[in-house]
Structure 1
């Protein structure tokens, strides 16, 4: 598939929604921006990180 407009994709395990919103905010000052609504959190992304003291050495 070839798109006529530039596309920016954000990947990773932490901070995608914040990064997406920041990029959209900055680019929207000069361009028309289309972005997904909200986020798509899955069960594993909602887990609280373990404290360093509770991790086995």
Structure 2
């Protein structure tokens, strides 16, 4: 898992999950959709995840 975090395309979104931000189809306050998978966003990781996007 640590080798993926060195790559800028990967971001930790939950204690158990890192995701490739280039593969995200959609997301909301609680989860990310990648292909047909729903990945939860942990409350401790939400702020760091959202910093990867310009949501203004």
Give the TM-score band, short-chain normalised.
under 0.3
TM-score by length of 2: 0.27
From the two aligned structures, give the one with the greater strand fraction: 2
From the two aligned structures, give the one with the greater helix fraction: 1
TM-score by length of 1: 0.27
